[in-house]
Amino acid sequence: MRGVTYLLGYRLARIHMACPFFKPARRLDAGGWDPAPRLPLGDAWAGECTAGCAEQPTEATQREVCNCGYARGRCEHFPAGMEADAVRFSMGPDGRLIYIFEKDHAPLEHGEIDPATDPREPLASLARAFNESYHRVLDAATKRGAAGGIV
């Protein structure tokens, strides 16, 4: 089925990823893109690096590296001994939010996450950013559908 991915028995509509050390704090604008590209967290986010860097990455670095994952070898602050180099999120058909830590595009760990109550940071902040973007897009599509637009 086109546009649908199956993972561990779950039917997933989208899979997204970001740097596991990125802690998103606020949504960025489209950055001059019209239309904006599909981004791993749904939107571009500004935030902080939790990998222990003294200065926070520039907005350009956050857009190109922090938001997009696989920062190993692309970011000077990425810890050499870290197992995961990206974290993906997907909303399951039953509304459960799934995370998958990856290394070199292969899964290392996965599970369900409740972004409102999970204490693991920055994973919980990444999940909240994805969840907010996902629901913003879903709400916009629902409104377009109600107005006679294509969903």
Query: Looking at residue 110, what is its pLDDT?
Result: 94
Tens-digit pLDDT profile for residues 82-109: 899 889 899 988 889 999 999 888 899 9
Please say if the pLDDT value at position 8 is more than 90: no
**Cα distances (angstroms) measured from residue 114 to each of 58, 117, 118, 148:** 29, 6, 6, 33
- Between residues 34 and 22, the one the model is more confident about: 22
pTM confidence score: 0.79
Residues 6+ apart with CB under 8 A from 134: 42, 91
**The two three-digit tokens of residue 121, written as one number:** 């940071």
Beta partners for residue 100, in sequence order? 88, 110
Query: Looking at residue 28, what is its pLDDT?
Result: 87
Please say if the pLDDT value at position 1 is more than 50: no
Query: Looking at residue 139, what is its pLDDT?
Result: 85
Query: Looking at residue 14, what is its pLDDT?
Result: 43
Residue range 54-65: mean pLDDT, rounded: 86
Amino acid at 140: A
pLDDT band at 115 (very low <50, low <70, confident <90, very high): very high
Please say if the pLDDT value at position 66 is more than 70: yes
User: What 3-state DSSP class applies to 31?
Assistant: coil
Q: Where are the domains of the chain?
A: 5-144
pLDDT band at 23 (very low <50, low <70, confident <90, very high): very high
